[in-house]
């Protein structure tokens, strides 16, 4: 347990968001080609994402801060997957929302 708490909570949140993004990627792949193997991988990715979340919330113990940072990181990774891998389009309002999300992470991290 000591080892888990020795790693900064932000790194746990990034790892959790990456697992969540992997789950989102696999969900999109499942939507395009439904296979049982995708379902099992999706469950694994979301489970690992949840497990990576636990040391962060244990360490920081502020759901309001940790939850928002995780949500924004997950949003950013999901948007990047959609735009870069699946060639989805992002409008000006979406881009403005992403900039606002990044600003919120910075403000919450220094607050």
Region 100-105: mean pLDDT is 85
Cα separation values, 73 from 2, 3, 18, 33, Å: 25, 23, 8, 27
50-64: burial string, b at 16+ Cβ within 10 Å, e else: eebbebbbebbeeee
Distance CA 60, CA 70 (A): 12
Report pTM: 0.81
pLDDT band per the 50, 70, 90 thresholds, residue 5: confident
Residue 109 has pLDDT above 80, yes or no: no
pLDDT of the residue at 42 = 98
Distance CA 29, CA 12 (A): 26
State yes or no: pLDDT of 111 exceeds 90.
no
Query: Which pLDDT score, from 0 to 100, does residue 75 have?
Result: 87
Read off the pLDDT of residues 56-80 as tens digits, 9 standing for 90 and up.
Answer: 999 888 887 888 888 888 988 999 9
């Amino acid at each position: 347990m000591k080892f888990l708490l020795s790693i900064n909570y932000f790194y746990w949140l990034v790892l959790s968001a990456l697992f969540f993004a992997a789950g989102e990627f696999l969900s999109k792949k499942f939507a395009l080609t439904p296979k049982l193997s995708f379902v099992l991988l999706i469950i694994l990715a979301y489970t690992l994402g949840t497990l990576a979340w636990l040391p962060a919330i244990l360490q920081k113990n502020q759901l309001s801060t940790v939850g928002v940072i995780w949500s924004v990181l997950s949003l950013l990774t999901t948007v990047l997957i959609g735009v870069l891998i699946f060639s989805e389009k992002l409008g000006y309002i979406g881009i403005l929302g992403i900039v606002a999300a990044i600003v919120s992470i910075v403000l919450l991290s220094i607050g």
